[in-house]
Amino acid sequence: MTHVKDKRPYHHGDLRQAVIETAMTMLREGSGSGFKLREVARRAGVSHAAPYKHFADKAALLAEIALIGFDSLRERIIAAQERFSNDIPSALLATSKAYIAFGQENPDLYRLMFGAKIGAAEDVHLDQRALGVFEIVIDLLERGQAAGSIRTRPARGQAAACWAQLHGITMLMLDGLLIPEKVGDDAIEAALETLQEGLSA
């Protein structure tokens, strides 16, 4: 325990975790273009090369953080659709809104999760933690089909349609491209309505 004398010990204790948390804090602050590895180290009170003892490179850290993001997104979505257990279309709409809100509240994290900066994007998106979010939607659609409120189509394809629509809305929004003069004042509502109408029986 290095007899405590206030001076920082040579070893951090749990850098790796500290690095992840610091990086996520910086993402939340929304500096704009993600975070710099060196600045993370600086804030964690450690030298600029220390993180490399825990992560092969920046992409590896990004991948780790992306998975945490998916956990968070998952919770958000589950919470949103909880109170619509039997009204599938409403649950679906709540899910859509939760997804978009997640993006709006965590712009840099969202970009990181679905961006190309991660090294092995496949590994991340096929991980159960990311896959799980997608499966929630598939499940919802299948239940809707069984209940007769959702059009009968392969649910996986419908889920892909949902994902694309939501990702498109979120990205356009984050990049400031949903300009009222161009797309009107309620572009998001319109896009969600079109999606619902394309899915409902």
Partner DNA sequence: CTAATAATGTTGACGCTGACAACTTTTGTG
Partner DNA sequence: CACAAAAGTTGTCAGCGTCAACATTATTAG
Interface with DNA (CB under 7 A) = 1-2, 9-13, 15, 35-39, 46-50, 52-54, 56-59
Contact status: 55 vs its own copies (CB under 8 A): no
Q: Pick what 143 binds: its own copies, DNA, none; C-beta below 5 to 8 Å, kind-dependent.
A: none
Letter for the amino acid at 32? G
Q: Which is nearer to DNA, 65 or 192 (CB)?
A: 65
Residue 72 burial (CB < 10 Å; 0-12/13-18/19+)? middle
10 Å CB burial of residue 163 (0-12, 13-18, 19+) is middle
* Binding partner of residue 136 among DNA, its own copies, none, CB cut-off 5 to 8 Å per kind: none
Binding residue for its own copies, selected from 50, 60, 68, 121, defined by CB under 8 A: 121
- Binding at 11: pick from DNA, its own copies, none (beta carbon under 5-8 Å per type): DNA
Q: Which is nearer to its own copies, 82 or 175 (CB)?
A: 175
Paired strand residues for 68: none
In the DSSP assignment, the letter for residue 16 is T
Q: What are phi and psi of 150, to 5 degrees?
A: -115, 135
**Structure-token pair, residue 150:** 């959702």
Span near its own copies by CB under 8 A; candidates 5-13, 55-63, 67-75, 188-196 = 188-196
Determine, following the binding rule CB under 8 A, whether residue 6 of this chain makes contact with its own copies: no
Considering CB under 8 A, how many residues would be counted as binding its own copies? 49
Q: Which does 178 bind (CB under 5 to 8 A by kind): DNA, its own copies, none?
A: its own copies
Distance CA 111, CA 33 (A): 9
Q: Which two tokens stand for residue 47?
A: 């030298």
User: What is the longest distance spanned by two Cα atoms in the chain?
Assistant: 69
Shortest Å, Cβ 127 to DNA: 21
CA quadruple 157, 112, 166, 182: dihedral positive or negative? negative
Which residue's CB is nearer to DNA, number 37 or number 130?
37
Which phi and psi angles does 200 have, rounded to 5°?
Answer: -75, 145
Site residues for its own copies per CB under 8 A = 114-116, 121-122, 125-126, 131, 134, 151, 153-154, 156-161, 163-169, 171-172, 174-179, 181-184, 186-187, 189-191, 193-199
